[in-house]
Amino acid sequence: TARREKAVIMTGFSSRMQMSREVAQALASNKPVVALESTILCHGMPYPSNVRTALEVEEIIRSAGAVPATIAIIGGIPHVGLTRKEIEMLGREGHKVKKVSRRDLAYVVASRVHGATTVSATMILAHAAGVRVFVTGGIGGVHRGVESTWDVSTDLRELGRTPVCVVCAGVKSILDIPKTLEYLETEGVPVMTYGQKDFPSFFTASSGVRSPMTVGSAEQAAAVVGAQADLGLGGTLVAVPIPREHQADAAEVEGAISACLERARAEGVTGNAITPFILQGVKDLTKGKSLEANISLVKNNALVGAEIARHVSRAEVRPRARARLRPREAEREGRLAK
């Protein structure tokens, strides 16, 4: 099919970026495009749930009137838009595929190996391709116990510098949510929660922490995204609560997280290995309930993200009103010119 064909474009990267024809045609005609990461495919879910979920999320985005652009590095080449065969290959390879953040991009490209892009790397490649909206499960953040580990996700700094709207279910609940929101404030990132006042907690709809901002519609969120871009600022974050009928039990999840954090400390798990380690442990301890919640929230985010992308796309094609001087200002300008 046309969506499986590839069109090669050049970017600022030293290597080629390969874009699917479906994505290239959508961007050329200013149709809404939604970026998707590949870490959730390779490191976030077991096979075959990962592949099935990735394909279902893409179809949700298409059915909502947008074009999905799953991003990954294959053989050292950044890909924006994957074929079904490529998604299947990455899903089967799973943890063998290197997890890639901003720090790792150049190394993986130069080494000509496969890479699963995290939030930060996906934002960089999406922006390079001209994709304005990106849907994921949850972003990284400030880890619990940061006082001794200094473990802060590069996702937060990327949000402060790269003008892409990230739609997620909040910060992964294994992290320190209040400290993460403080860090995002320092980075100047507009943090909007969709449809409620409390910031969500990934597996559950509410973290009990008040959100810095609230938006009541995709159109309102898209307006903030547009204003942020016009002002020449960085990224934006839209936190979408998991539907309450799909959320996990908060006490059960918190208990599992605490147990997994203790186990991670005992086993010396650190760095970018700790998030998949804990998520897998939480899945096991909750007997798969956390995985079910994870799949549900990603699909829900895809629906909201596609709607935001549609509004962002519409706003871009509207002619912008030219600034006009008021009569007295025009008269004064005329006198000065004389």
Locate 146 and state its tokens: 């940061």
Nearest-5° angle of CA 247, CA 159, CA 156? 70
- Which phi and psi angles does 193 have, rounded to 5°? -100, 135
Q: Which residues contact 167 (CB under 8 A, 6 or more apart)?
A: 133, 134, 135, 136, 238, 240, 301, 304, 305, 308
- Whether 58 sits among the annotated catalytic residues: the reply is no
Locate 76 and state its tokens: 């050292």
Cis amide prior to 276 (ω within 30 degrees): no
Q: Which residue is associated with the tokens 């994957």?
A: 82
The residue ranges of DSSP E strands in the chain, in sequence order, are 6-9, 17-20, 33-36, 67-74, 77-80, 98-100, 115-117, 133-135, 165-168, 191-194, 198-201, 204-210, 213-215, 236-239
User: Which residue of the set 58, 86, 99, 172 is catalytic?
Assistant: 172
User: Which residue of the set 22, 37, 58, 88 is catalytic?
Assistant: 37
DSSP state of 42: I
- Whether 172 sits among the annotated catalytic residues: the reply is yes
Locate 307 and state its tokens: 């709607």
Catalytic residue annotation: 37, 172
